[in-house]
Structure 1
Amino acid sequence: MRELTGAELDLSGLIKKSETVMWGNACAEPLTLTEALVEQRKNLDNVNVFMASAFSNTFSPEHAEDLTFISTGGVGTAGVLTKIGACDVIPCHVSQVAGYIEMGKIPCDVVFVQVSPPNERGEYSLGVTSDFIYTAVKKARIVIAEINSQTPRTICSQPLTADDIDYCIYSDRPVVEMQPAPVTEIDRKISAFCQPFIPEKATLQVGIGGVPEALMADLSSHRGLGIHSGMISDSVVDLVKSGAVTNEHKEIDPGITITGALIGTKKLYDFADNNPDLRMVPASVTHDIRVLSQLSNFVSMNSALEVDITGQVNAEGIGAKYFGSVGGQVDYVRAAGLSPGGVSLIALRSSAKGGAVSKIVSQLSGPVTTPRSDVGIIVTEFGAADLRGLPLSRRVKAMISIAPPEHREKLEREAYDLLKLRA
């Protein structure tokens, strides 16, 4: 491992023509390295950038003149780029990303990693993400590490050593943060309709947004909950401190909160630092249906852009605009369906644009992310539609019952015309 100063970091001498650079998901972006990539982009030759979700302000649309962006979705920074056509999207499940990297389907030539200073065994913690990055490190031609003293030293199932790193720089700067989403009255109503489906001792998977924030706050009186989730936010800290999360009833990793990404603020990072009750693991653990289905009472909570009246879910985009992702939704929905006592919840506001547009629709205006054959329960502020085992005619009735009241008559007409079913 060769140590470099900022002045010595010449990426044009490290990244070859047409190579692909990638780094960790979400808040794991090594800012000193990515800022150097932006600053030096004019000296690079047709370089590709692979980012999953990202929440910094490092990249802007004008950078697409020199860098080619690729992502697995339109979340955060990638969303800004996808909306203007500056970022191409690979529609795939989170569980597939590491395999695609290993196969070479997603190129991985140069990897940036943000790690903590080494522990007494010489191990570098991957900090706030562990999903596909270890696979990328093993596959890459060159690995450049930013050893950031403010990166939490999380317990990783796959830490790095000096042998994994070719070049390193040192930094002391705050890790990228994601503030909790504000919770509205509608979010609280949706959360209330989710509550009956979440038993004591359940193991939870949750995402980010107002509804998950409301739900996690509402679960503080539960007991014996566990966490096995692709990501966690600050709300998990509160659930642990309230006594709701103990992880004691999980069949896998009892007593341990399992996650692949920390998406939150310093509150979460401080909680995770050297915490023996929290473990960062790759997507092969957080998203593999063969692992997840072994957990009893596994409750999956995800969101959608729109859902049609038969239960098909679109979580990716509207028309030509791609600003969501496949993510881990299908992985988790299917796993929850196989879990003894498990259930998948897809929660969304019933309308958009001040109520003018219903998000419960007769026909999707974007791709089918989760097929209706996998869907469990759809929840809006008007109720919960349990679609498990329902024939199409009853699905239509259930879905229209949770649509905005002012749109229901139109949906009933469209249901009859499209499906020849009396809604």
Structure 2
Amino acid sequence: MAVVLRSSRKWFSPTLNNLSNNYFTYSNELAHPIQRETPIVCPDEAVSVIKSGDTVFCSGAAATPIDLLNAMTKHGKDNCLENVTVCHMHTEGPATYCQPEYSDIFRSSSFFMGGNVRKAVAEGRGDNMSIFLHEIPKLFFKKIIKPDVSLVHVSPPDEHGYCSLGTSVDCVRAGLMHSKVIIAQMNKQMPRTFGGALIHSSHFDAAVEVDTPLPQHGGKGPSDVETKIGKLIAENLVKDGATLQMGIGSIPDAVLNALHNHKDLGIHSEMFANGVVDLVKKGCVTNSKKKMHQGRIVGSFLIGNQALYDFVNNNPFIEMHVIDYVNDTSIVKQQPRMTAINSCIEVDLTGQVCSDSIGTRFYSGFGGQVDFIRGAAEGFDGEGVPIIAMPSATNKGQSKISPVLKPGAGVVTSRAHVHYVVTEYGIASLFGKNMRQRACELIKIAHPDHRQALEKAAFERLKVMPSK
């Protein structure tokens, strides 16, 4: 039985070839069933549709379709493909297609760069983009990026034929809506999530079935420094009834670990961490103070441990929505006591924040930091709390509070955006402070080994001693 190729308006056979021009009426609304069947094939056959010059989009984080990406890499090598662009947010897994031996075949293009493609970008074999998380879907809607093929990781279909995008809704819906061909990796271990995660299986031009664990993060407890930071934030900056945004990592986990005496907390975050599960079970996270999605945790993508995946699976308490909604500043600012907790690579003495590069070397991306820092600052209730949190020094003992940012370092969050900077030595309140006062606040929370040098550098730069 022939199945319909998406927006190119052609017929697409179960053997993924024999294209011919035939008109059909098509809806790109992913929840709308189409009267056609999806062939279940092996990964090698599924990716055989990819050809030289194609743009391939893939889902990311815990929903990285690793089996399909591995098959794509083999297909590219075996069939001598050229100039295939693979675009994505942060992905997990080996990203074999980024290895030097495949540089003439594939080129990675990151909307937010993960560690598995960092070397390729540094060596000129991959590209990265500076873009706010909430604007990534515009790349598809404005047809700046036009995927020929999308590789997506979903749950198996239910009795009505609906799959779930599971752990990653983010920009995936926008990418799929504008793709000519969609190939699905259906995984029995992908959690079923609600909100904007539903997609009818008839939209897939082919699917492969797998039963493999999702990538996991977490399990390593916060250090003493991170624990101190988490306690400072929880005890001084997070109020009962606050709505939280935080990413993944030891500092967000440390904050969550310190919130077990708080009441009526809410979660509205592009992603959330393992520690949320315990807070829900203890009754600390109720989302009862929210005016939007009251009683629901709102996220857009996630990656964590198996306990987190089990928690979100088939759980109507969790809503996963598109990133251009979750991270929209006009939505963020409506959350009660919006408290945004983000980290960075370095901060200079005026409050400029670098989060995506180490000097000239690109490290990650803009992500949702500015989306939420600004949304919290503009909170309708006037009680938003925008926070930048980091250890005072690197693992090598270098101060993360610098006289000036390293040459080539990019400013992700401007000095005017920053309200609070937190290290294990305290909280610097920068809003409403002039440069002399800002320097004083930041030096106060710097590592003691660096304070004298920072004070001297501040005087040389500002021609006045840092002072309250």
- TM range, smaller chain: over 0.9
Find 1:182's aligned residue among 208, 221, 227.
221
What are the residue-to-residue correspondences of 1:10-409 with 2, within 5 Å? 11-12=47-48, 14-42=49-77, 43=79, 44-59=81-96, 61-62=99-100, 63-195=102-234, 196-339=236-379, 340=381, 341-355=383-397, 357-365=398-406, 366-409=409-452
Deviates more, 1:100-109 or 1:323-332: 100-109
CA contact (8 A) 1:33 1:146 kept: yes
SS where residue 2 of structure 1 aligns?
A: coil
- CA separation in 1, counterparts of 2:395 and 2:193? 41
CA contact (8 A) 1:74 1:80 kept: no
Q: Where do 5+ consecutive residues of structure 1 fail to align?
A: none
- CA separation in 2, counterparts of 1:260 and 1:120? 25
Q: Where do 5+ consecutive residues of structure 2 fail to align?
A: 1-36
- CA separation in 1, counterparts of 2:369 and 2:147? 25
Structure 1 residues 265 and 161: alpha-carbon distance in aligned structure 2, compared to 1, 3 A threshold? same
Q: Give the AA of the match of 2:456.
A: R
Q: Give the AA of the match of 1:374.
A: H
Q: Give the AA of the match of 1:5.
A: V
Q: Give the AA of the match of 2:291.
A: E
SS where residue 408 of structure 1 aligns?
A: helix
Match of 2:13 in 1: none
How many residue pairs align between the two structures?
421
- CA separation in 2, counterparts of 1:344 and 1:234? 22
Structure 1 residues 158 and 267: alpha-carbon distance in aligned structure 2, compared to 1, 3 A threshold? closer
Deviates more, 1:237-246 or 1:305-314: 237-246
Match of 1:2 in 2: 38
- CA separation in 2, counterparts of 1:123 and 1:314? 42
| Superposed CA offset, 1:350-376 (max 9, x none) | 112432x11101111110000011111
CA contact (8 A) 1:55 1:178 kept: no
Deviates more, 1:212-221 or 1:407-416: 407-416
Shift, 1:192, TM fit:
2.0
CA contact (8 A) 1:24 1:129 kept: yes
SS where residue 191 of structure 1 aligns?
A: helix
Structure 1 residues 388 and 142: alpha-carbon distance in aligned structure 2, compared to 1, 3 A threshold? same
CA contact (8 A) 1:180 1:233 kept: no
Structure 1 residues 186 and 125: alpha-carbon distance in aligned structure 2, compared to 1, 3 A threshold? same
Shift, 1:158, TM fit:
4.3
| Superposed CA offset, 1:66-121 (max 9, x none) | 21011023323233433444321101110110011211223422111111112233
Structure 1 residues 338 and 181: alpha-carbon distance in aligned structure 2, compared to 1, 3 A threshold? farther
Give 1 or 2 for the bigger CA radius of gyration: 2
Q: Give the AA of the match of 1:399.
A: L
TM-score by length of 2: 0.87
Q: Give the AA of the match of 2:358.
A: I
| Superposed CA offset, 1:22-54 (max 9, x none) | 111211111221110122221222101112112
- CA separation in 1, counterparts of 2:396 and 2:195? 44
Structure 1 residues 5 and 392: alpha-carbon distance in aligned structure 2, compared to 1, 3 A threshold? same
CA contact (8 A) 2:377 2:385 kept: yes
Shift, 1:324, TM fit:
2.4
CA contact (8 A) 2:154 2:185 kept: yes
CA contact (8 A) 1:130 1:156 kept: no
CA contact (8 A) 2:38 2:206 kept: yes
| Superposed CA offset, 1:236-274 (max 9, x none) | 111111211111111110111110112112211111111
Q: Give the AA of the match of 1:344.
A: P
CA contact (8 A) 1:116 1:151 kept: yes
| Superposed CA offset, 1:368-422 (max 9, x none) | 0000111110001111101111111111110111111121121122112222232
- CA separation in 2, counterparts of 1:154 and 1:304? 30
Match of 2:463 in 1: 420
| Superposed CA offset, 1:209-250 (max 9, x none) | 111111101111211000111011221111111211111111
Q: Give the AA of the match of 1:349.
A: P
- CA separation in 2, counterparts of 1:36 and 1:272? 29
CA contact (8 A) 1:181 1:209 kept: no
Q: Give the AA of the match of 1:54.
A: T
CA contact (8 A) 1:137 1:164 kept: no
- CA separation in 2, counterparts of 1:169 and 1:187? 42
